[in-house]
Amino acid sequence: MDTENPELDELSAWLVDELHDVALGDKRLNRRLLTTGAQLAARPSGSINQACADWADTKAAYRLFANAKTTAEKIRAPHYRRTRERARGHQRLFAIQDTTYLNYTHHPATKGLGPIGTAPQKLSGLVMHTALLMSEEGLPLGLASQAIWARPPKRPRRGSEARRKLPLEAKESAKWLQALQQTRAVVPPEAQLITIGDRESDLFALFEQARTLETELLVRAAQNRSVCAPEVGRLWAVMGRQKVCGQLQVLVPARQGKPGRQALVTVRFAPVRLKAPRHLRKTMGDISLYAVLVQEEAPPPDSTPLCWLLLTTVPVHNFAEAVERIRWYGLRWQIEVYHKVLKSGCCVEKAQLAHVERLLPYLALLSIIAWRLFWMTLLARHAPEAPCTLVLAAHEWRALYAFHHRTQQVPARPPTVGQVVLWIAQLGGFLARKNDGPPGVTVLWRGWQRLSDIAAAWLAFHPS
């Protein structure tokens, strides 16, 4: 904790603990990062101007992000160490990788942005690729890797064959391999690490790197690769010939205005040996994997049938193991929720900073704050009876209790995580009706901002 600034510890206990060993090369800069981080964490949906207490704090925050010593890598480094600490004791961990795009087209004054989207859209912004580390129960333990960059303004046009022959390090797809290597360094060696990716991660080089690093993969297939002996053919045809081993109900998340639904799917699995692509055969050999085909045979009218072909390095010998691999892939949806927290809850696309070099450390800090909001949401579902001191400082839970119960008398024993998260969600508009499910991240980030004001008022009237 920061012994030179005890008020900072009181106002942002979790953030001080998360980033206490940050090393920006200047003690005053370190303290300013914690102060600014606390202010942004208190009002994650607000701008820098709204989060800061006054003009002096606002100027100090802008100077912080403009300082060459304040880099995204230095801000994320202590968070990676805390992630590793939270990962200890887990036998199995999942690193969910995904790419999202941050749109700053509406901030034309920001320098250093690059193209995103298709050429006719004329959008500008940044590319963000993140690996979110999760426990087997589905609790986000923190970021294990993150890279944010701007694409060059003009990229040379190449045909498919020319793109295929480019060295991997010259391709944007190298992000998957770099994130895998960084994640492996964060995760304790005794834990089984399984990296999960969508169709974009179906890269032969990624399978090869996983074999080199002795780690596991679970990705959704996009390429109809050649399968070697004993069963020769193309991957989709080979899997379609396999015997159905069972049926399963799978949740299809809501997307593009269509509500979520349950889908009845058939399951097939088989070991496969994939032939290396022609341009990689001199450097890479064939790879043995396990494939699981998940197909919806009778989808509802006007619905796209669910169809996943999963490839994994983890053995699949029976229906129960195939179902477990499908459940693992279902965790991939969580990183999309995390991106929603970052964009909608923390409103990072509204940030107005003069240059990308200033935007990058800001995004690194807000990515950690977004993780914390997401973690708190899921912790209430996974460990509702845990003490609320896991998520709130003493003055925060006391202020919340007093406000919720309309009393000045607070109990000596802290309430549970489940109780305080429900109260915070109610501050954000959650109705807590009998048939309502658990509160989601949207009402929580709204409620968190109100709690910050309530807790500050509590401190003003209870300075002891």
CA torsion sign, 365 to 371 to 372 to 373? positive
**Structure tokens belonging to residue 239:** 């899997």
- H helical segments located in 91-214: 160-165, 174-186, 204-213
Question: Would you place residue 3 in the very low, low, confident or very high pLDDT band (cuts 50, 70, 90)?
Answer: very low
Virtual torsion, Cα 268, 273, 275, 276, nearest 10 deg? 100
Separation between Cα atoms, residue 7 and residue 1, nearest integer Å: 11
The pLDDT tens digits of the residues spanning 303-336 come to 888 899 999 999 999 999 999 999 999 999 999 9
**Within a domain: 145:** yes
β-strand pairing of 192-197 with 92-103: parallel
pLDDT at 34 over 50: yes
Q: Nearest-CA neighbor of 138 among 445, 423, 377, 420? A: 377
Residue whose structure tokens are 């990676």: 80
Backbone angles phi, psi at 445, to 5 degrees: -70, -30
The pLDDT tens digits of the residues spanning 57-74 come to 999 999 999 999 999 999
Shared domain for 125 and 191, answered yes or no, is yes
Shared domain for 324 and 401, answered yes or no, is no
Among 281, 316, 341, the domain-final residue is: 341
Q: Count the domains in the chain.
A: 2
**Within a domain: 44:** no
CATH number of the domain at 204, please: 3.90.350.10
Q: Which amino acid is at 72?
A: A
Among 326, 341, 356, the domain-final residue is: 341
Shared domain for 263 and 406, answered yes or no, is no
pLDDT at 75 over 70: yes
Q: Nearest-CA neighbor of 290 among 318, 261, 263, 330? A: 318
Residue whose structure tokens are 């989207």: 117
Residue whose structure tokens are 């100077």: 63
**Within a domain: 147:** yes
Shared domain for 332 and 387, answered yes or no, is no
**Do the Cβ atoms of 328 and 94 come closer than 8 Å?**
yes
Shared domain for 88 and 191, answered yes or no, is yes
The pLDDT tens digits of the residues spanning 328-357 come to 999 999 999 999 999 998 999 999 899 999
DSSP state of 260: P
The pLDDT tens digits of the residues spanning 176-198 come to 999 999 999 999 999 999 999 99
Separation between Cα atoms, residue 164 and residue 405, nearest integer Å: 64
Is the full-model pTM beyond 0.85? yes
**Within a domain: 390:** yes
Q: Which amino acid is at 170?
A: A
β-strand pairing of 192-197 with 216-220: parallel
Separation between Cα atoms, residue 106 and residue 269, nearest integer Å: 47
**Structure tokens belonging to residue 56:** 């002096």
Query: Can you give the pLDDT at residue 7?
Result: 46
Shared domain for 320 and 242, answered yes or no, is yes
Among 310, 326, 341, the domain-final residue is: 341
Q: Which amino acid is at 339?
A: H
**Within a domain: 329:** yes
Shared domain for 337 and 395, answered yes or no, is no
**Within a domain: 437:** yes
Question: Would you place residue 92 in the very low, low, confident or very high pLDDT band (cuts 50, 70, 90)?
Answer: very high
**Within a domain: 39:** no
Distances (CA, A) of 225 to 35, 172, 329, 365, 464: 52, 21, 21, 40, 67
CATH number of the domain at 447, please: 1.10.740.10
**Within a domain: 328:** yes
**Structure tokens belonging to residue 182:** 């960084």
DSSP state of 350: G
Shared domain for 398 and 312, answered yes or no, is no
Partners of residue 307 on adjacent β-strands: 295
Shared domain for 203 and 303, answered yes or no, is yes
pLDDT at 11 over 60: no
Separation between Cα atoms, residue 141 and residue 80, nearest integer Å: 10
Q: Nearest-CA neighbor of 441 among 332, 336, 337? A: 337
Shared domain for 302 and 390, answered yes or no, is no
Instruction: List the domain range (segments joined by +) for residue 431.
Output: 383-461
pLDDT at 260 over 90: no
Q: At what angle do helices 441-461 and 356-382 cross, to 10 degrees?
A: 90
**Structure tokens belonging to residue 98:** 């995904």
Shared domain for 440 and 330, answered yes or no, is no
Shared domain for 424 and 318, answered yes or no, is no
Separation between Cα atoms, residue 45 and residue 153, nearest integer Å: 30
